[in-house]
Structure 1
Amino acid sequence: MTAPSLVPGRGVLRSEWIKLRSVRSTTVMVLFATLVAVVLGVLATSSDASGAATMTAQDRAQLDPLGDSFIGLIFGELAFGVLGVLAVSTEYRTGLIRTTFSAVPRRGRVYLAKALVVGAVSLLLGTLLAFGSFVLGQAMLSPEHLEVHLGDPGVLRAVLSAGLYLFAVTMIGFGLGAILRHGAAAIAALVALLWLTYPVGRILDHLSYLPSRMLLFNIADAITRAHPATGKPALRIPSLDLAYTGLALYLVVFLALGAWRISRDA
């Protein structure tokens, strides 16, 4: 006898899409991420532009137009992560997860359907937000001829990677929501993972830079740069290969743990 497929059908996917777009928190998180990312990016790049007249040649060479455009994503990523958490934890809080499992007993199909819907939405929105932040940021820098273009080496890759990173944070939050099943606890764990691990990595730097290089904060720095970091801070920034590998590991670990946890009793 052939084992039942875990691939979700159209009905399951449609149901998860309706749930996601009907929850008010989805709209709130998306709007918050957009507002923070755009406002902070514009403020940072406008500050660069206003100081262009007094910049030395060395200052211009050290300017990071991409990094300043994406500075708002440091905070916007939390909104994406919370979106992932709430996409799965809300049903546990309300008890509606039991109804979902009654309608679709194959819990793996439910989990996969949720992951596909949340992943597709976050990848699309993250990519749009990354390009929007880039375009607005470079528009602020353009009058002073400080901007970079998508055709410049490494720029398109960095912009696409910014969207990819927002998708990854969303799915890590999704995994945490499935693992902990409690929104507040999962969000606290997400905050710790995104930001509170940074000082721990700095403490361990005297032993090895590898822990710092595997932190999400530094992975984001690596993949959203058009050019590698230089100087002493570069010791904590992973290479592109290590950064993408590390991001993939985060996704595999948290999504796998979430799948295992959701297969337990609701």
Structure 2
Amino acid sequence: MTTAVAAPFRFFALHVVRTRRLGPSLVRVSFAGEDLRHFLSDGWDQSLSLFLPHPGQDAPAVPVELGDHWWQGWRELPDDVRAVMRSYTLRELRRDPDEIDVDFVLHTPAGPASAWADRARAGDRAVVLGPAVADNRAIRFRPPDDTDLVLLWGDETALPAIGSILASLPAGQRVRAWLDVRDAGTVRHLASAADAEISWLTGGACPDALRTAVLPPAERPYAWIAGESGSVKALRRHFVRERGIDRRRVTFVGYWRQGMTEEQLRAAG
């Protein structure tokens, strides 16, 4: 496989080594591949593009041999041949052996990526467009050095990033996090050395709970918000207009948009 694309990203040929259910609507898929020795990331919300095969295909159809022009080549493939492409967040990168974990939300009704993850087995093949440079533009969580309070909000699609962020923060760092999940069975312990208060909320209560929450006093807070695009934008306005946080200290990422597929979202963007 030709792996060169446009620095700092490249294609990686992967295969499934194991899967693990994390709850009623979450499954973790662990991937390995010889090229992963070149996969580098220093970020905790590292995003990547995952390419998956259609049912009946042995491997995803991605024209990686076109190099920088792969996107146009991929678009020109027939719909039933062109690999399913979805954006995901890296949950963990490990060495010796080289492996990465990706967490999938299992939707009902299932989309193509959700259905693939639900039936994934060891040996199944996938392709990732990921970082070959440790510090890259697909890393969004970048709190300023003087941050005295970290604020996190995310829905289920942001759980991998939030889990990694919490695990990375040092002892003594104050953190307030709100996690919006559909099912109480998704609630689990998230390890962190930080002084973290984590609120798990279900039933769409999260935005209201955040708006009415009493925050610890802070002079230099930093907020990271990720998940459904409409909710993310509304909460960014809340932090900036109602909480008075400098907009330069608020990072917001729309992972998905209600009522739109990723293909429609990419076309609109």
Structure scoring higher RCO (CA < 8 A, sep ≥ 6) equals 1
Work out which of the two has the higher radius of gyration on C-alpha atoms and give 1 or 2: 1
Global fold match (TM > 0.5): no
TM-score (norm 2): 0.28
Q: Which has the higher strand share?
A: 2
Q: Which has the higher helix share?
A: 1
